[in-house]
Structure 1
Amino acid sequence: MTASAKVAAGARSLGGTLAHGIVAMAHNSLALVGLLVAFCALTLFSRADLRNAGEDYLRTWLQARQESAIDAGDAAADSTGGTDTNIIAAVDRATATNPQQLPKNQAAVAYWLAKKYRVAPEPLAVLVSEAFQVGKETKLDPTLILAIMAVESSFNPFAQSSVGAQGLMQVMTKIHTDKYEHFGGHFAAFDPVTNLRVGVKVLQECIQRAGSLEGGLKYYVGAANLPDDGGYAAKVLAEHFRIKQVANGRSNPAEPPAKPSLSAKASVPATTMPAVQNKASEPAAPADGATATVALVDKSGAAVAQPAKTESTTVSMGS
């Protein structure tokens, strides 16, 4: 055998020996690891205190990693102006939708109201959709609900009157606080959809109490025990007439037919009629020194009469 052949044979023998040793070491290492895992498992199973300590350590470590990730996200938000999560939350909070996604008649109403009252059509689309849904639930014409919002607040969800009527439907929040409890409290009065639903509930109660729609509107505006409502019901019904035409497909609604005022007295000249302010809720002042009976009325229809001196009486009723 030549020298080169002997070297090759020795190298192969050495290689085989090393490989065999590595395999043996690997088998022994795996066996050792297995024995170690089994031992740890048996120890933890038998020692509840060690097991609990290990769980606490692992939980603390995971929480620390999570907090680090949140801090890193906040730092990125500060540098970029916000995170995707914040953006999604803001969109979810917005009371707006695409009017083109509504049924054709509702979309027409949304666009018409948006143009007339100079309000964006996207939030109006939500209100129109909600009015139709609530109207279906309560058996009220949705265009009537929209007409009341138009007359009361011109679709300003943050409107407030001098006597505390708030929101789209100008609900007396302090009087109807109980109706907002289901929605999380009285601050929900400034949520457009919540105010709409509470306002409709108040309107239902007013109509039921009065026995008619026009009478219910008189209760709603706070003129239940006044001679007339200053034209409030007529104004609401006129806007209802227009919106209903738009919902029925007419882009340029006609004006409603004029109706003579039932409260007007032909024998009394127009110049002598009492001035009506704040939607007929504030009675005219009598002559100096005279005593007036001032009607205290809220939108729930409750009314109390009390005598008051003209010079010390300043009463403004609900809307």
Structure 2
Amino acid sequence: MTALGKLARGVQTFFCDIAQGFFEITHNGFAVVGLAVVFSCLTLVARPDLRQAGESQLVAWLHQRQAQQLGVVPELDAIDRATALNPKDLPKQQAAVAYWLSKKYRVAPEPLSALVAEAYETGSRVKIDPLLLLAVMAVESSFNPFAQSPVGAQGLMQVMTGVHSDKYENFGGKLAAFDPVTNLRVGAKVLQECIQRAGSTQAGLKFYVGAALLSEDGGYAEKVMAEHARLQAVAAGKAVPLAPPQPLRTATPVDAMRPGKPDETTPAV
């Protein structure tokens, strides 16, 4: 064999040895990786706490990456804080009321649907017509959950938060007055007490607005009862024309009837 042939054969042997070594190393490496994966899977099956921690870290990392790309911090549970329902998910009667109020007061039907549903549930619990609760909200705040009057009446039902702070204790404090559902529940309780104290709905509304010891209530009870009648007609499936919408405001039309101080003799809401 010539010297050139020997050189070629040596080079060939050299590269074959390298290829075989690389194959063995790779094969053993894959085997190690496979064993590591199997061991990890068995560990995660045996230790759910580790699996949960790993999933939480992965989700947190994915959220962080998404926040970096979008420039916002995603909150998948934010929907739980929203006071909103699809009106199509409501019973026909409640949906009709929600759509009608939405058009009249220029409020989105989804949050109004949640309030209508809550009014029916709360009204059943405190033995008050839910449509009366909705009528009170309409007259008091035009469904503005952040409304406040000059004398401190706040939220959807314009409850005097300072006077009825005790009623908010079970909801975390007075700031809950600006949670629509909480304000509705507290306002319904106050209205229930007013009606029981006065002996009738109309007289109870006079107590509610803080005009119990006055000769008249500025037409407040009449406005509420008129809206109540319209809502009854809507719930019954009748075509009820929309009255001119009231302008958005941060004070109720009957603020002058409310006492300025909690210790005055006229009952305050």
Shift of 1:127: 0.5
Shift of 1:137: 1.4
Distance 2:51 2:255 in 1: 66
Specify which of 188, 203, 211 is matched with residue 191 of structure 2: 203
The answer (yes or no) to whether the contact 1:221–1:229 under 8 Å persists in 2 is yes
Specify which of 93, 117, 122 is matched with residue 105 of structure 1: 93
Cα pair distance change 1:151/1:86, threshold 3 Å: same
Moved more, 245-254 or 167-176: 245-254
Shift of 1:160: 0.5
Cα pair distance change 1:161/1:318, threshold 3 Å: farther
The answer (yes or no) to whether the contact 1:110–1:121 under 8 Å persists in 2 is yes
Shift of 1:279: 1.8
Alignment of 1:48-59 (within 5 A): none
Query: Equivalent residue for 1:242?
Result: 230
The answer (yes or no) to whether the contact 2:140–2:253 under 8 Å persists in 1 is no
The answer (yes or no) to whether the contact 1:165–1:318 under 8 Å persists in 2 is no
Query: Equivalent residue for 2:105?
Result: 117
Identity of aligned residues (%): 58
Query: Equivalent residue for 2:66?
Result: 77
Specify which of 206, 210, 217 is matched with residue 218 of structure 1: 206
Aligned length: 213
1:304 partner amino acid: T
Query: Equivalent residue for 2:220?
Result: 232
Query: Equivalent residue for 1:141?
Result: 129
Distance 2:182 2:98 in 1: 19
Matched, 1:184 2:183: no
2:211 partner SS: coil
Cα pair distance change 1:197/1:67, threshold 3 Å: closer
The answer (yes or no) to whether the contact 1:110–1:124 under 8 Å persists in 2 is yes
CA offsets, 1:28-49, max 9 Å, x none? xxxxxxxxxxxxxxxxxxxxxx
Q: Which 5+ residue runs of structure 1 have no aligned equivalent?
A: 1-60, 256-276, 284-294, 306-316
Looking at CA atoms only, which structure, 1 or 2, has the larger radius of gyration? 1
Distance 1:86 1:253 in 2: 42
Moved more, 121-130 or 62-71: 62-71
Shift of 1:210: 1.0
Shift of 1:281: 3.1
Distance 2:108 2:56 in 1: 41
The answer (yes or no) to whether the contact 1:164–1:172 under 8 Å persists in 2 is yes
Shift of 1:91: 1.1
2:254 partner amino acid: K
Matched, 1:304 2:265: yes
Moved over 4 A (4+): 61-71, 295-298
Matched, 1:281 2:256: yes
Specify which of 160, 163, 166 is matched with residue 172 of structure 1: 160
RMSD: 3.2
Using the size of structure 1 for normalisation, the TM-score is 0.59
